[in-house]
Amino acid sequence: MISKTQESVAKTAFGKTLKTPIKYTYTWEVFENPAELVAQKQELTLAEQVKVRDNEAQANARQKSLAQALADAGIEKPTAENDISVAWKQFVVTYMALKTQDGSKRYTQAQAEAKASEETGYYPDGE
C-alpha cells in the first residue's frame, strides 16, 4: 500500500457560502495491486475492489479533513440551537404536519411560515 495526499478547497459549508474559502489537505491509503486486497481479505472482484476501496479511503479522509478544517476555522454545523433560521425551518415543517387549531385542516405553507415567525421572532424576508 502507498499513501496519497491531496489538497482541496471548501467554498461552502452546511449549505452556506464561506466568506473565505478554506484550504485543507487529506491523506489516504491506496492499494497498489489486487494481491494486497486478497491479503487483507477485502475482495469484491479484484478489479472492482481496488477502485472501490481506494475511493472509499479518499472520500473518508477528505471528509474528516474538511470537518477538522471547518472546526479549526470556527465554523460549526447550523442547528436549531445555534441558528434561528434552522429552528424556523423546523417549526414550519412541524406546523405543516399539524392540523389547524380548530382541527379542520392542515396548515398551508404560508400559515406555517407565519406561525413559525410568531414562535421564533425570525422573518426570513427580514420583515
Q: What is the pLDDT of residue 25?
A: 95
**Backbone torsions φ then ψ of 114, nearest 5 degrees:** -65, -45
Query: Does one domain contain both 20 and 64?
Result: yes
- Write out pLDDT tens, residues 7-51: 999 999 998 889 999 999 999 999 999 899 889 888 888 899 899
Q: Residue 127: inside a domain, yes or no?
A: no
User: For residue 126, which amino acid is it?
Assistant: G
Domain of residue 54 covers 2-72
Query: Does one domain contain both 65 and 35?
Result: yes
Maximum Cα–Cα distance across the chain: 69
3-class secondary structure, 22: strand
User: For residue 79, which amino acid is it?
Assistant: T
- Write out pLDDT tens, residues 89-118: 999 999 988 887 787 788 888 999 999 999
Q: How many domains does the chain have?
A: 2
What grid cell was written down for 24? 485543507
Query: Does one domain contain both 51 and 10?
Result: yes
Q: Residue 77: inside a domain, yes or no?
A: no
Query: Does one domain contain both 90 and 58?
Result: no
pTM for the full model?
0.54
